[in-house]
Amino acid sequence: MAQISGYYLLVVGATGPFVSAFATKWGKRPVFVASSTFGVIGTIIGMAATGYPSLLAARIVTGFSTSAYESVIISAVGDLFFVHQRGVRISLVNFMLAAISNG
C-alpha cells in the first residue's frame, strides 16, 4: 500500500504547476470545481475498487484533484483577506493540509 501513496504524491507534485497555471489563466473557481469533480470521481472509483489496478487508478484521479488544494488554496486565501489577516488563515490552511495528509 505504500507504493500507492507514492504514486498519489507523484501525481500531486507533478500536476501542481499545471494546476497553478490553469488557475492563473482561467480563474480559481473553475479549477476548484473541476478539482472537486475529480475528487468525487476518484472516490467513486475507489469505492468500487476490487483489485490493485482499480485502487491505483482511484488514487491517481484523487491525486489530480488534490493538487488544486495543495497549490491554489494559498493564493485564494491571499485574495480573500487583507495582509494583516492572512497570517492566521494561512497557518490554519497549512495545518489542515498537513493534518489531512497525515490522517
By C-alpha distance, which of 47, 51, 53, 62 is closest to 11?
Answer: 62
pTM score above 0.85 = no
Structural domain boundaries enclosing 88: 2-102
**Residue 10 pLDDT:** 86
**Residue 41 pLDDT:** 95
> Mean pLDDT by 10-residue block, N- to C-terminus, for the chain (103 residues)?
75 90 93 94 94 90 88 88 91 88 72
The domain tally of the chain equals 1
